Amino acid sequence: MRECSTEELREIGRIQSFGSLIGIDEQTGTIVVASDDRAHWLGRHIQDADDDRLAWAVTNGAAIDPVRVSVDGRAYDAIVHRGSTPLLVELEAVPDFEYARLPVVSAIQRLATIKDADALRQRAVEELKIITGFDRVMCYQFHADGHGQVAAEAREADMEPYFGLHFPSSDIPPQARALYFEKRSRVIADTLDPGQGLQSLPGVTEELNLGPAELRAVSPHHLQFMRNMGQAATVSFALIADDTLVGLITCAHRTPRRLPVLLRRSIEVLASQVALQLSAAEQMTDLRRQLAVREQRAALTAPLYGAFEIPEVLFERSRTVLDLIPADGVVLMLNDRVHTLGMVPTPERLLPVIEAVGDGFVTEALSLTHPDLAPQIPEVAGLIVVAIGDAGHLAFVRGEVSRTVDWLGDQSASNRDTPLSPRRSFSSWRESVTGRCAPWGPHVSDAFALAADIHTAIGARSQAELAELALRDSLTGLHNRRFLASRLDDLLQSASEPVSVIFLDLDSFKQINDTHGHEVGDVVLATVGKRLAGLARSSDIIARLGGDEFVMVCVDVEEATPIASRLIRAISRPISVGDLRVTVSASAGTAPAESGVTAADVLSSADAAMYRAKRNGRGRASR
């Protein structure tokens, strides 16, 4: 017996017995391949078929849209696989009872309103259990390492629950998963069905690719696997999102059972919608998380644009890098100096390991991935190493966390007749997992983004130092007064389009410094600078004049008051500084640059307008 994970599935050479298969030479119209039950058709011309609809289907049909035909007085659905050689046509017998497809449409409408991924999976299996009448319907979710989990389940009350159980990737091997990209559902109507073979005319030697076929037989290994699970019949539907098979919806029954192909096509549409909704829900969850993390990262790194020491900003404040990247400890290697926070091995033991694994290294089980290095730091199971440009490295460490995993059946050899046999029992089996840290998950990308932000801040600081802060404000990274005066004069002399100036002043900023300290005040100023820069166009100029005064020069704008109002709203959003949330308002004055005025003139006019805004109640714009 060949191992299931390497078995060829496309050229298995047999079909299931609930239908027939023929292969037609498209040039001659001759039937050159036929299943055993249609062997008497070999050599016949398809136009000689008893039902003209069959000949029409061969010429015009497609697999996605089966055609109802009559053969030997019985109704069949003809499924034509364009692009196959020879042209494969399946005749799938219509069951004695027809399922209505209308419930699928109403189920799609009900599912469309669900936003939560877990709730969507559960409602989908419940709907499909009602529609199909199968004993058990499960939604599988595939994890990044390939193994799967039963993420939702609807079952008969007397059946053992499988919800939450994990199963190895070999249960659905890669070649089986690949088939779902060309055929979105798979039917096994009866695990005791011996199936039927395929016959061909002399001279037809090439193996048939049955990958897209509805009737394709299944390996004996998998049939035994199903029988051991108590399944006599299954039908599975692919959940594909972004060209990735993210899961399956599998319907299982304890006695032979089959859905007609037209109903399966409807459920394929339902499964496609579920996959799209799952993808959208996960993307929204990820986006919300990314936005929250980005804001935390900005608050953490904003002081780096000032004169603070980098280790102090990252390690010694109320919120540190370990609040952003949860770990037992972190090591910063910068300018040939080593700084640590939390529980980390001594540098003498840790640094050689970091040097050995190099930049961009991630593991959750060092003893498994690098057994030669793990003994040097036995207290470490998880490690992330990211480069801060050419300046240094950040390394996050985690210790071992013992945990349990509930599997769909005992995975050991004691639960198999032979090493290559399927499992005998699928009752929940609990495994203790050691040697691993808690999963890093999205914190890996967070670590790389943090390193990039630190590198950017270091670059900005170096640039400012090289220019001796001649043209940049060291705290915010914005242009300073000197640059503004020079650039604005040049602009006014050469501009052919209108120019307007916005003068912004933070309201009661001194109170923030007095109440919370200059450290908080600096973070507020840096955050305001970032928000202003984020709203500026590439043609605009943003500058910090000093203190809490900012200026925006808008090119090709005659009336800047609406822009000033947007800036004020952006500034007024709460700013997180550690556990503190600070709110600050701003007043703005706008002034158009009239012909012949100087930079000093238009700045003075905008400044005067700003003070009018303050007198009128603050937190507003004035001309």
Q: What confidence tens digit (pLDDT) does each residue in 371-411 have?
A: 999 999 999 999 999 999 888 999 999 999 988 788 887 77
Q: Supply the pLDDT for residue 222.
A: 87
Residues paired with 339 in a beta bridge:
332
Mean pLDDT of 129-140: 96
Inform me whether the pLDDT recorded for 433 exceeds 50: yes
Question: CB–CB of 169/145 below 8 Å?
Answer: yes
Whether residue 426 is contained in a domain is answered as no
| pLDDT at 7 > cutoff 80 | no
Provide mean pLDDT across the span 308-334.
93
> Which among 47, 75, 93 is the end of a domain?
93
Within a domain: 8 = no
Q: Can you give the CATH number for the domain in which 84 is found?
A: 3.30.450.20
pLDDT single digits (tens) 335-357: 889 999 999 999 999 999 999 99
Predicted local confidence at residue 8, as pLDDT: 53
For position 234, what pLDDT does the model report?
A: 97
Specify the pLDDT at position 97: 67
Position of tokens 């709460």?
A: 574
- Token match 């993420």: residue? 151
Give the contacts of 344 (CB within 8 A, at least 6 positions apart): 328, 329, 330, 331, 350, 397
Give the CA dihedral 432, 436, 437, 443, nearest 10 degrees. Answer: -120
Residue 425 belongs to some domain of the structure: no
Percent of the chain scored above 90 by pLDDT?
Answer: 69
Final residue in a domain of this structure, among 464, 484, 504: 464
**End position of a domain, from candidates 35, 68, 93:** 93
Say yes or no: 583 and 448 in one domain: no
Q: Which band of pLDDT confidence, cut at 50, 70 and 90, is reported for residue 603?
A: very high
Rounded-to-integer distance, Cα 5 and Cα 369, Å: 23
Same domain membership, residue 114 and residue 239: yes
CA distances from 345 to 86, 189, 381, 434 (A): 66, 58, 12, 20
Residues 493 and 588 in one domain: yes
Query: Do 312 and 169 have their domain in common?
Result: no
Q: Are residues 124 and 233 in the same domain?
A: yes
Tell me, yes or no, whether 161 and 71 share the same domain.
Answer: no
How confident is the model over 355-371, as pLDDT tens digits? Answer: 999 999 999 999 999 99
Nearest-angstrom CA–CA distance, 126 and 152: 9
Same domain, 269 and 170: yes
Does a cis peptide bond (omega within 30 degrees of 0) precede residue 326? no
In a domain, 115, yes or no: yes
Reported as a pLDDT band with limits 50, 70 and 90, residue 79 is very high
Mean pLDDT of 57-79: 91
Same domain for 336 and 318: yes
The answer to whether residue 203 is domain-embedded is no
Q: Give me the mean pLDDT over the 302-309 stretch.
A: 84
Backbone angles phi, psi at 172, to 5 degrees: -130, 85
Q: Are residues 47 and 116 in the same domain?
A: no
Residue 1's pLDDT is 35
Other CB atoms within 10 Å distance of the CB of residue 580: 14
Total count of domains within the chain: 4
Distance CA 415, CA 422 (A): 8
Least confident of 254-258, 270-274, 401-405: 401-405
Task: Work out the end-to-end distance of the chain between its first and last CA atoms, rounded to an integer number of angstroms.
Answer: 85
| 246 close to 279: Cβ distance less than 8 angstroms | yes
Domain that holds residue 332: 306-400+435-464
Average pLDDT over residues 2-7: 48
User: Tell me: the pLDDT tens digits for 112-129?
Assistant: 999 999 999 999 999 999
Q: How far is CA 377 from CA 237, 239, 327, 334, 367, in A?
A: 46, 42, 16, 21, 10
Question: pLDDT tens digits for 529-553?
Answer: 999 999 999 889 999 998 999 999 9
Q: What is the pLDDT of residues 169-214, one digit of tens each?
A: 888 889 889 999 989 999 999 999 999 999 999 988 677 889 899 9
Least confident of 4-18, 437-451, 584-598: 4-18
Task: Determine the pLDDT at residue 4.
Answer: 47
Please enumerate in sequence order all residues whose Cβ is within 8 A of that of 70, keeping only pairs 6 or more positions apart, or say none: 50, 51, 53, 76
Residue 428 within any structural domain of the chain: no
* CATH assignment at residue 499: 3.30.70.270
| Residues 89 and 121 occupy one common structural domain | no
Same domain, 441 and 490: no
* 449-507 tens-digit pLDDT: 999 999 998 888 776 666 555 788 889 989 998 899 888 988 888 877 889 999 999 99
pLDDT digits (tens, 9 = 90+) for 229-246: 889 999 999 999 999 999
Looking at residue 101, what is its pLDDT? 64
What's the CATH code of the domain at 357? 3.30.450.270
Residue 186: the pLDDT is: 95
- pLDDT of 2 higher than 50: no
Q: Are residues 574 and 479 in the same domain?
A: yes
DSSP letters, 590-608, are EEE--TT--HHHHHHHHHH
Bridge partners (DSSP) listed for residue 87:
24
270-303 in b/e form (b: 16+ CB < 10 A) is: bbbbbbebbbebeeeeeeeeeeebeebbbbbbbb
Residue 206 included in any domain: no
Give the integer Cα–Cα distance in Å for 542 and 536.
7
Average pLDDT, the chain: 90
The answer as to whether 607 is a domain residue is yes
Q: How confident is the model at residue 134 (pLDDT cuts 50, 70, 90)?
A: very high
Asked whether the whole model's pTM tops 0.75, one would answer no
Report d(CA 74, CA 38) in Å as an integer: 14
Summarize the confidence of residues 545-563 as an average pLDDT: 92
pLDDT at 340: 94
Residue 421, pLDDT score = 67
The answer to whether residues 388 and 454 touch, using CB atoms and an 8 Å cutoff, is yes
